[in-house]
Amino acid sequence: MGAETGNENRFTFGIDGMTCASCVRIVDRSLRKMPGVKFVSINLGTEKGYVITEPGVTIDDIIANINSTGYRGLAEVPGEEKIMKDFKRSRRMMIESLAVMIPLTVLMILHMTGMHLPWFPALEAAAALFVLLRPGRGVIRGAAIAAIHFHANMDSLVLMSAFFAMLTSFLNISGVEISSFGSISVMLISLHLTGRYIESHLKYNATSEIRALLAMKPRDAFIVRDGNIINIPVESITAGEIVAVRSGERVPLDARITEGSCTVDESMITGEPGRVLRKEGDELTGGTVVENGSVKAEVIRTGEDTFLARMIRLVEDAQSSKVPIQAMADRITGIFVPAIFIIAVLSGLTWWINYESFRPFLSWASSYVPWISTGTGAESTATFIFIAVLVIACPCALGLATPMALIAGSGLAARNGLLIKNGEAIQTAGSITTVFIDKTGTITEGKPSVVSHTIASEHLPVLLALENSSIHPLSSAIKEYCAGLSINPQINVSDIKETAGSGVTGILDSIEYFIGRPLDNSIYSSMMSRGETVMELRINGAAAGYISVADPVKKDSAEALTLLKQLGVRPVMLTGDSEETARAVAAATGIDDVISRVKPEEKLFRVQEVQKQGGHVCMAGDGINDAAALKAADLGIALGTGTDISIESADIIITSGRLIAVPAAISISRITFRKIRQNLFRASVYNLVAIPAAITGLMHPAVAEICMILSSISVILNSAGIRKINLQEIKK
């Protein structure tokens, strides 16, 4: 799945065959070497990849590169049908292996406790060969892919361990004086397949948010053609066509109501329960549910351009991305497998050469550890330790530590109306010290209305013509006011130019008109002290009246700013409006720091000023004048109700437009990063404890495999805890 954005392409795709962090590293390294590839992120948890490339690179090029590494690239992200098919196959392989392992383990215990079974080594050899070639053939295939392309992965370690354990059984029945470890071979494959099944089940549950979003995409819709209503697939609908949506149905695509009214459940957008009334002229978002009423609406966006499609793409991209802390884990896993193989060989050789010297230690340890035997001989003991070290080495938990937390964190954010565009934002948010917040449309509703004016009626058509060319949120109030007076805007105003943070100018009959920031605010101080914004009309530079607009504060703004302070974050209002208006809004919401009358480049300067002092800055805004500051800030948060350029410049998008989501976004990000650190600690502690135990002969290979599985499960379950958190708990 791909999308073109300006001078770059973005692709999200599936990758089949990856089993551990080493596999991820191989695919990642190969893609990074491709000409034209600017960014690569491979996620083991979702088995997906995400790349940003120059325009000339295609998805076919990406897939061909992945295939060259031995893994299989998938142009389309695997759907639920394939996921379930793979899940059922892993369950079948697990059951087959356990059906052999369980009775064999019982016989092994009987054999080891005194009931000598002379035919048992032959049974071990046969069972090991069957399990390896039948349910374990996927392990052989994974290891073979790695070997052909000159690298090693988790399958390589498991296969080597199982093969050498099985080999001891064949050597034993051939007369070689070595203990038979064929049962361990069966255990290793069986436990490995069991771990795979459990991991796949947990990962399937962890990605439920994406599947829930995909379920919101209607497959067909009713459209109006030639006066008839017909049912066709959504893919066949084009922009401009009229769709009919009745009570209880999902809106098929983004559309604008042309006839009728309805109440809509928009919780998928806002993350909040409740219904909203939509009438003629209002927009409907594809995927939302019409609960009462029926409407006809003109389709305005289709395919990958719809809100829901963009939302799904952003969540997938976030789940497939990396955070800076993962670079450390990647470096470790890059050297881990070959280093452990060398350690395993050296450990086995050391025990084989110095067996008699180490034997007293084994005698002492056998009193505490039941599986240690002191009479098996140097060869058997060295083989036992070699296998145990290899099994311990699988860095699976380390590879899952970051992606599983990202999956859960971005899913939680999506459920609460937050879209995290990149994984780096999750790590960055934890260190935010200052949040600069735009006023209009962010702290306030952004839907102002005219309170008073002194502009002569003959100048109102010129005023309307100027404001029709403006994208400033306050312009809508003037447009609505003039529409109520039936003002005709069809006049020939030329050379219209908008200066962000200042106002709009235009020429009519060689006369220059300007509407925007007053030259002297003191004239309007009484109105500004009430939170009103005053725009002055100037004709050829001379004041010709004013128009006063009030923009009500959002209901949740005061609570949001209080929560930011509780998080230890300093909120600062950063607005181009007058100081009097800004101070009035600040007083109503509890903001202590206010910076007013700033132009877009000054917003950027303010952000950089705090950064130079060592602070970490978040910028929250919704307008074109916020775009530069959003991009420069350590963390940019844009309201989904804002302009496209502000949304494109941000790291996190608030689809609900509610300011309360800003502290929620920071909290979710901090929680997610805390889970990542916990996961990395758990994975590292496991290896730091288990590897020395294996080298000293205290770790049985089967126990090592169980510990490895439990380590991975622990990481996944710890990450899954994020999904249980709700927005109300975050607010507390």
**pLDDT tens digit string along 488-516?**
767 888 888 888 778 899 998 889 999 99
HSE-CB of 542 using CA atoms within 13 angstroms: 3
Whether the pLDDT of residue 29 is over 50: the answer is yes
Strand pairing report for 635-639 and 652-654: parallel
Instruction: Return the domain boundaries, the chain.
Output: 2-78, 81-206, 220-305, 418-444+554-655, 449-550
Whether the pLDDT of residue 353 is over 70: the answer is yes
Is 438 a catalytic site residue?
A: yes
Whether the pLDDT of residue 538 is over 90: the answer is yes
Q: Tell me the backbone φ, ψ of residue 386, rounded to 5 degrees.
A: -55, -45
pLDDT digits (tens, 9 = 90+) for 433-462: 999 998 877 888 877 888 889 999 888 888
Architecture of domain 418-444+554-655: 3-Layer(aba) Sandwich (3.40)
What percentage of the chain exceeds 70 in pLDDT?
A: 83
pLDDT computed for residue 214 by the predictor:
64
Q: Which helix (H) or strand (E) holds 145?
A: helix 137-148
Find the catalytic residue in 438, 577, 622, 651. 438
pLDDT digits (tens, 9 = 90+) for 176-192: 877 777 888 888 788 77
If we measure between CA atoms, which residue out of 706, 656, 663, 659 comes closest to residue 686? Answer: 706
pLDDT computed for residue 191 by the predictor:
75
Mean pLDDT of the chain: 80
Report residue 565's pLDDT band, with 50, 70 and 90 as the boundaries: very high
pLDDT computed for residue 314 by the predictor:
64
Residue 79 and residue 24 in contact, taking contact as beta carbons nearer than 8 Å = no
CA distances from 149 to 15, 153, 564 (A): 16, 11, 51
What percentage of the chain exceeds 90 in pLDDT?
A: 12
Q: CATH topology for 449-550?
A: Calcium-transporting ATPase, cytoplasmic domain N (3.40.1110)
Say how far residue 301 (Cα) sits from the centre of its chain.
24
Stated pTM of the model: 0.62
Gap between the Cα atoms of 688 and 608, Å rounded: 42
Segment 219-232 shows an average pLDDT of 84
Segment 674-684 shows an average pLDDT of 84
Gap between the Cα atoms of 203 and 219, Å rounded: 26
Gap between the Cα atoms of 233 and 302, Å rounded: 12
Say which residue, 480 or 135, is predicted with more confidence: 135
pLDDT computed for residue 646 by the predictor:
47
pLDDT computed for residue 569 by the predictor:
92
pLDDT computed for residue 642 by the predictor:
44
Gap between the Cα atoms of 314 and 657, Å rounded: 17
CATH of domain 220-305: 2.70.150.10
CA distances from 44 to 59, 397, 578 (A): 20, 11, 51
Whether the pLDDT of residue 99 is over 90: the answer is yes
pLDDT computed for residue 126 by the predictor:
93
Segment 279-288 shows an average pLDDT of 86
Segment 205-210 shows an average pLDDT of 58
Region for residue 227 given its phi and psi (left: phi exceeds 0; alpha: psi -120 to 50; beta: otherwise)? left
Whether the pLDDT of residue 5 is over 60: the answer is no
Gap between the Cα atoms of 301 and 705, Å rounded: 52
Architecture of domain 2-78: 2-Layer Sandwich (3.30)
Strand pairing report for 8-16 and 72-74: antiparallel
Segment 235-257 shows an average pLDDT of 88
549 DSSP β-pair partners:
450, 533
Report residue 10's pLDDT band, with 50, 70 and 90 as the boundaries: confident
